[in-house]
Amino acid sequence: MAKEDLMALGGEMEEEDGMAEEEAAMASAEEIDAELEGMAEEAAPSGIYPVRSLNALGDAVNKVLPLFDAGLPPITPFESDVKGKLPMTLFNPLVMINKAANDAMLPDLAPAVDGLVDGRSLEMAAGKVTLLGKNRDFQMFLKSAPKEKEAPETEVEVKVETPAVGMSSEEEDKLMMERMS
């Protein structure tokens, strides 16, 4: 009976270790996400953006987003001018569209993300995004690109048998060799 209690205790300890490792990995992933978001905010251009130009670019981006993933949330209309950093809700999708256009070998249609400093540059970017959305090569590229999907969470139960207490090292080696073959 003591052997079974020891094995049960070992299993509980392994579960706790696994949960602690999972929590540490989640915390690490959250730190990385926050760091990447901070880097994106630093990379966002600054300028004076009229509401009309912001909404023109937002409308163009909203027409292209479903080509990437139908589940992506649309950009909500802006209600006032923006002075300072380009809003991240607009900047992040633009970066994604720019990268896809370059990957699709369409650099002339890639909207510039670093030169967006005024209403005119936003409207120029809106025009490029609109052209990309209508471009058949771009559409085919996005359809053929592998979609990133999250793996479904599954629980796997691993049973680890520990050698019986009191086994000689030769018996343990023999047991391990049997298991490996």
Mean pLDDT, rounded, for 123-136: 92
Q: Which helix (H) or strand (E) holds 30?
A: helix 2-43
pLDDT in tens, 43-99: 688 888 899 988 999 999 999 999 888 888 888 898 988 898 888 888 999 999 999
pLDDT in tens, 6-59: 555 555 555 555 566 666 656 555 555 444 455 555 668 888 889 998 899 999
- What is the spatial distance between Cα 141 and Cα 22, in angstroms, rounded to a whole number? 36
Token couple for 69: 């993933």
pTM for this structure? 0.58
- What is the spatial distance between Cα 94 and Cα 40, in angstroms, rounded to a whole number? 12
